[in-house]
Structure 1
Amino acid sequence: MPSVKASLEYLQDLDIYEHEKPYWVFLQPREGFDPDKQRLDNLEFEERHNIEVRDIRELDFEPVLDKFGFQVFQHQSKFSNFEKHVDIMDYKSETEALLKSTLGAVYVKCYDSRLRKNIVFERTELDLNDLLSPEGPARGVHNGKFHITVTSGPTVTARYMPEADLVRFLKPGHRVRIINTWRSLLPVLHDRPLALCDSRTVSPDDLVPADRIIPNAVGEVYYLKYNPDHKWYWLEQQKSSELFVFVMYDTKSGSHARFCPHVSFDNPRSPKDTTPRYSIETRSIVITKE
C-alpha cells in the first residue's frame, strides 16, 4: 500500500520551556486529590497533520538498527495474552534470549515491560508496579517512556544491574545499549499502530528533555518538537510475529543511530469495527563486546 498520511502529536515549541523544564508527575491516589482538577504536568502537545508515514513493506531496503535506530525482527512469541505475573517474567526471559542471539550480546537484562490497550479505562487507580495492569497508548513523540536520555541512561543501568555485573561489564571494550521491543498481541494490528522515526532525520535541537516523576524513581525522557525533515515508518497490518526493535540509549559514540523517536497514531485505514490495539513493550539493557 502507498504511504499513509497521518496526524502525529508533537510537543509544542513554547517559550515557557526556555525557563521551565517540561515535567510529568504520577502520584499515588490520596484522599482529597483529584487529578482531573489539579494538573501534574506542564506538557502541551500539538497535532501535526498530513505527515507521510511510509510502509516498511514497500521499501526497497531494510531498515537496520545501527542505521535507522529500528529494525523488524521475525519472531513468534509463546505468549499472546498475560494472565499471571509469571507470564510476564517468562516473556521477559524470552525477550532476553532473542536479543542475546540476534544482537550477539554478552549480557541482556530485561528490566521493564508494559501492556497497552487502546480502550477507555474504568478505574480510579493505576499501580505502575503491576505489570498486568495495562495503560493506554503513550502521548507525544518521544524517545524512551521511562528514564531514557543521555543523562539518565547510566542511572538506569546502575539501578537495574547487580553490582557484580556492573563491575564485570561497565568498562572499556563493552557497548551498553537500552533496547525497546514492541509487539502487537493481536494476530493483525489495525488500531493505533506505532510509527518510528529515522534517527538520522532528527536534529539535536528537536529533542526536549522532560522530567518524569513516579513514586519510586525520577528520570528523563526526550519529547520531540516538530521538524518537517523527520521521516516516519510503520508496518501496515503488523502481525504479532513482526517485532519492532529500537534503540533508546547507546554508549558507543559515532554517527550510527543512538535513539529512535516513536509514537502511536490513529490509522486512517483502520476498519471501523476493528479490535482495539493490544500490545506489549519491553526495555532491556543490552551489552555487546567492541
Structure 2
Amino acid sequence: MNIWQPFGKPVKRDPMAFCDFRTVDENDFRTVVANLPPPGAGEYANVSRNKAHKGKWEYSANGETAPRYEVTNLAYNPEQKWYFASEMTTEEAWIFKIFDSKKDGRARCAVHSSFPYKDQPDHGEARTSVEVRAFVFWDDEEVE
C-alpha cells in the first residue's frame, strides 16, 4: 500500500493522477530496469548512461557493483481513463494499492502518475509531497 500526501503547501500543478484499472489492458504494462550508481559515481542523473544489459547486480561505471531493480510502467493506450486529484491540500492524502497478488478480477494495482494536462495549466510552484510504502498481508486469505 502507498500513502501519498502533499506537505508545506497545496498542490497547484502536476497533480496526482490515477488510471481507472477497469480501462487498463494487461498488455500495456512494461518492465523497466533501473541501475543505481555505484558508491562515489556522482549524481543519479548519470544512471541513464549505462544502457547495456548487465548482470542483475552489476553496474560498470567505475568497476564497482551496485544494485539494479525492476519497476513496471504503463504504456499509453487511448482506452485508458485517467482521473486527477487537483488542488489537494496538506490535510488530504491518498491511500492506494501498489500490488495485489490475487488474480480473481480485482484491481491488481492503482496505476498512478503525475503530469501536466491540457485542462489545467501549471499555475504555481512545483509540488512537495511524501510517499510512504507498506506491505500488507491478510491472515484470512490464501496465497496465490
Normalized against structure 1, the TM-score is what? 0.35
User: What is aligned with 2:71?
Assistant: 221
**Secondary structure in 1 aligned to 2:98?**
strand
Q: Is 1:232 matched with 2:54?
A: no
Counterparts of 1:17-96 in structure 2, within 5 Å, are none
User: What is aligned with 1:206?
Assistant: 28
**Secondary structure in 2 aligned to 1:238?**
coil
User: What is aligned with 2:17?
Assistant: 195
Moved over 4 A (4+): none
Q: Distance in 1 between matches of 2:34 and 2:6?
A: 26
Q: Distance in 1 between matches of 2:2 and 2:111?
A: 11
Q: Distance in 1 between matches of 2:132 and 2:35?
A: 19
Counterpart residue type for residue 266 of structure 1: P
User: What is aligned with 1:150?
Assistant: none
Q: Distance in 1 between matches of 2:21 and 2:137?
A: 21
Q: Distance in 2 between matches of 1:239 and 1:262?
A: 18
For structure 1, the residue ranges without an aligned partner over 5 or more in a row are 1-178
Q: Is 1:249 matched with 2:71?
A: no
TM-fit CA distance, 1:210: 1.4
Q: Distance in 2 between matches of 1:246 and 1:209?
A: 21
Q: Distance in 2 between matches of 1:241 and 1:253?
A: 34
**Secondary structure in 2 aligned to 1:250?**
coil
Q: Distance in 2 between matches of 1:230 and 1:186?
A: 32
User: What is aligned with 1:183?
Assistant: 5
Structure 1 contact 211–218 (Cα < 8 Å) conserved = yes
Counterparts of 1:92-111 in structure 2, within 5 Å, are none
Structure 2 contact 30–73 (Cα < 8 Å) conserved = yes
For structure 2, the residue ranges without an aligned partner over 5 or more in a row are 39-65
Structure possessing the higher relative contact order (Cα contacts under 8 Å, 6 or more residues apart): 2
Q: Distance in 2 between matches of 1:283 and 1:217?
A: 20
TM-fit CA distance, 1:269: 4.0
User: What is aligned with 1:261?
Assistant: 111
Q: Distance in 2 between matches of 1:198 and 1:241?
A: 24
Structure 1 contact 209–222 (Cα < 8 Å) conserved = yes
**Secondary structure in 2 aligned to 1:222?**
strand
Give the CA RMSD over aligned residues.
Answer: 1.8
**Secondary structure in 2 aligned to 1:285?**
coil
Number of residue pairs the alignment of both structures matches? 110
Q: Distance in 1 between matches of 2:105 and 2:111?
A: 16
User: What is aligned with 2:126?
Assistant: 276
Percent same amino acid among aligned pairs?
A: 31
Normalized against structure 2, the TM-score is what? 0.67
Q: Distance in 2 between matches of 1:225 and 1:235?
A: 21
- 1:85-141: CA deviation from partner (whole Å, max 9, x where unpaired): xxxxxxxxxxxxxxxxxxxxxxxxxxxxxxxxxxxxxxxxxxxxxxxxxxxxxxxxx
Q: Distance in 1 between matches of 2:8 and 2:138?
A: 32
Structure 2 contact 9–128 (Cα < 8 Å) conserved = no
Counterpart residue type for residue 77 of structure 2: N
Task: Flag the structure with higher strand content.
Answer: 1
